Amino acid sequence: MSYLNISVRQLIMDRVGRDTFLPAIQREYVWTPYQVEMLFDSLLNGYPINSFLFWKIREEHKNDWISYDFIRDYDAEKPHNTETNLNGVNKDIYLVLDGQQRITSLYIGLRGSYRFFYRKWRTCKLYLNLLKAPGAFNPQERTYDFYFKENAEPWPGSTEPQLWYEVGRILSFDDAEDAKDDIKKELEGLTHEQRDCANRIIGKLHGRLNSANIINYYEETSDDYDKVLEIFVRTNTGGKKLEYSDILLSTATAKWRKLNAREEINNFTDEIEKIGNGYSFGKDFVMKAAMYLTEDLPIQYKVSSFTRENLERIEDHWDTTKDAVRDTVKLVSRFGFNDKNLVTKLALLPIAQYIRNKNWPSYISSSAEKDVKDQNNIQKWLLMAILKNLLGSSTDTTLNQMREVVAEEGNAFPVKELSEKLKVDLTFTDMELDKLLSYNYGTRYSYLILSLVYPGRDWKDKTFNEDHIYPQASFRTKELRKRGLSDEVIEQYQSVYNSIANLELLEDSENKSKNATPFDEWIESRDANFKTRHLIPEMEDYGYDHFMEFIEARRELIKEAIKKASFE
């Protein structure tokens, strides 16, 4: 590696967008407006902003790698980079391996804009208040007034002197004195001290951005892609942990023949994450689904998996992949699965494979008896797969086994065959049941466990809420002491009131009407089948003095119900 340095102006005006771009392995821009403002504050204070790492690619190899443009005008609603058009770039190019967030922030602050939501959507440019003299040093506060603003108008209601200068203007001047001359008219009518303050800040801003060579970067010139990937992993260890699979995933979004791969994957990820109450699938899941649903394609995250031939095959199957994944997410969303309780998202893949093979667009909305039974089996299988942790440490091996099984079946979802192939019993032992019943309200497994208690329920397009049978407000220590309970009994009550045994799934309207009504009063107003439907044990008295008796009896009813939960 060779060590070089240039000015911010040289980087932004002469390099970014001309010969310096982003590789496909880079993730997207994530900095907030505040972080950008503080970067510029650090620059004007003379603080170091760390070094950068560029990968130099010889001109003859520039088209071997997919590259992307830096974002100039950032839009929080559309945060994706666009692919670079290298036609006309007749020289060596550089891809940034370390420093994307900082360079993008400099580019936005000096030549672009930032659109974000604060009470409303705002498109802002970076401004600097030339009349705010730097105060005493405080490492947690800004020294200078850098802010993203919609215009140069003063902040309304502020009594502080303000003269807002669009920071990007400073790049227009080769000499600091020219930059000062440019603001002379704006300084007319100000005090001598204010004019002096503004000129000092302008001079310093010009020196830090235009004159000083404060951008220090290394060049990596190797053509060894695996070496570059390793360097990238090692230099991107800050913030969110970067896995090797992240790199391969980004590499997989190389250019397809007809479609823009990165754009397609970004857009589809955004689409399925908006289904139902929202999910956080990420591009990792989408790419895994594309590999899984492309027949005879390896699904391991290895460089060898992402050959040009394999990528083209993924493109050829892309429409059917999207249809199958979209329908699967819609189906499980209608069954009450959400981002919190869909703990193992890869468990959706064999369902998507089955729906794709079935090739019936109306399947997920079908009310035919056969299809409803089939869909209920899918729901129960997904519950079991998550609660049994079927996709544990050997994820790829398990997925390959499931893919083999589903490929051979078409008339019904192959619950029995999957169970036999994976050598897993889709029932629960007493020990497993005790563990399930130890989960509490609102945890990631609680809704799934309660779902097994309602085998005949119509789940589709209905909202069910976890509800405390005996209202949780009644288990505050103060309330229990009012009932004359001993500390020992209070401790018992509080250890179990939040558990599965005191929970039920109610429809949204029913849950709201119940509110905090004591259970012994609420049960009197329910229909004849309420107790059977929610596994309420028969008791002579449902008052709080009999709460532990209720818990023990209901635990046994739930265990029996889960044991009997069968596939149709």
pLDDT category at 365 given cuts 50, 70, 90 is: confident
Q: Tell me which of 409 and 151 has the higher pLDDT.
A: 151
Q: Which two tokens stand for residue 251?
A: 């590499």
d(CA 218, CA 106): 19
CA 332 to chain centre: 19
Q: What is the predicted pLDDT for the residue at 332?
A: 92
- Does residue 227 contact residue 89 with C-beta atoms inside 8 Å? no
DSSP collapsed to 3 states, 105-164: HHHHHHHCEEEEECCCEEEEEEEEECCCCCCCCCCCCCCCCEEEECCCCCCCCCCCCCCE
- Residue 65 · residue 254 · CB < 8 Å: no
Q: Give the pLDDT confidence score for residue 2 in this predicted structure.
A: 59
Q: Can you read off the two tokens belonging to residue 217?
A: 């970067």
Q: Which of 26-30, 145-149, 169-173, 456-460 has the least mean pLDDT?
A: 456-460
**Weakest-pLDDT range from 435-444, 488-497, 521-530:** 521-530
pLDDT per residue over 423-462, tens digit each?
888 888 889 899 999 999 988 889 889 888 887 777 776 7
| Rounded Cα–Cα distance for residues 288 and 107 (Å) | 33
- The angle, 0 to 180 degrees and rounded to 10, between the axes of the packed helices 349-358 and 318-334 is 110
In this structure, which amino acid lies at residue 1?
Answer: M
Instruction: Say if CB 120 and CB 145 are below 8 A apart.
Output: no
Instruction: Report d(CA 284, CA 528) in Å as an integer.
Output: 49
Establish how many alpha carbons lie within 13 A of residue 549's alpha carbon, considering only the half-sphere containing its beta carbon. Answer: 10
DSSP state of 70: P
First-residue to last-residue Cα distance in the chain: 65
Res 239: pLDDT: 45
Q: How far apart are CA 215 and CA 409, in angstroms?
A: 60
Q: What is the mean pLDDT of the chain?
A: 88
- Token readout for 411 is 């008339």
Q: What percent of the chain has pLDDT over 70?
A: 92
Range 362-370 average pLDDT = 89
Output the pLDDT for position 361: 83
Both tokens of 71, joined, read: 């974002």
Residue 493: enclosing H or E segment and its boundaries?
helix 487-496
pLDDT tens digits, 83-127: 899 998 999 999 998 899 999 999 999 999 999 998 899 999 999
User: How many whole angstroms from its chain centre is CA 107?
Assistant: 25
The residue assigned the tokens 């409303």 is 120
Question: Quick one: which H or E segment has residue 98?
Answer: strand 93-98
Residue 318 · residue 446 · CB < 8 Å: no
The CA distance from 380 to 344, in Å, is: 14
Total length of the chain: 568
Contact criterion met (CB below 8 Å) for 339 and 280: yes
Question: How much is the pTM?
Answer: 0.62
State which H helix or E strand residue 381 sits in: helix 369-387
Distance in angstroms (rounded) separating the CA atoms of residues 241 and 237: 6
At residue 555, does pLDDT exceed 90?
yes
> What pLDDT was estimated at residue 139?
61
Q: How far apart are CA 555 and CA 552, in angstroms?
A: 5
> How many Cβ atoms sit within 10 Å of the Cβ of residue 275?
16
SS3 content of the chain, % helix, strand, coil (to 5): 50, 10, 40
Cα–Cα distance, 319 to 315 (Å, whole number): 8
Nearest residue to 520 via CA among 474, 555, 566, 476: 474
Average pLDDT of the residues in 205-209: 97
Give me the DSSP letters along 420-454.
HHHT--SS--HHHHHHHTT-BTTSTTHHHHHHTT-
Give the mean pLDDT of 230-251. 60
Cα(453)–Cα(450) distance, integer angstroms: 5
SS3 (DSSP) at 368: coil
The kind and range of the H/E element at 2 are: strand 2-6
Nearest to 154 by CA among 143, 142, 169, 164: 164
Alpha helices in 214-294 (DSSP H): 225-235, 244-252, 261-272, 282-292
Q: If you compute the radius of gyration of the chain from its CA atoms, what whole number of angstroms results?
A: 31
Write out the H or E segment, with its range, that includes residue 5: strand 2-6
Percent pLDDT > 90 in the chain is 52
Average pLDDT of the segment spanning 357-361? 87
pLDDT score, position 190: 95
Average pLDDT over residues 272-283: 90
- Residue 268, both tokens: 């589809």
Helix (H) or strand (E) holding 506: strand 503-507
Whole-number pLDDT of residue 293: 95
Residue 485 in contact with residue 476, Cβ under 8 Å? no
At position 323, the amino acid (one-letter code) is D
Q: Do residues 242 and 25 make contact, with C-beta atoms less than 8 angstroms apart?
A: no
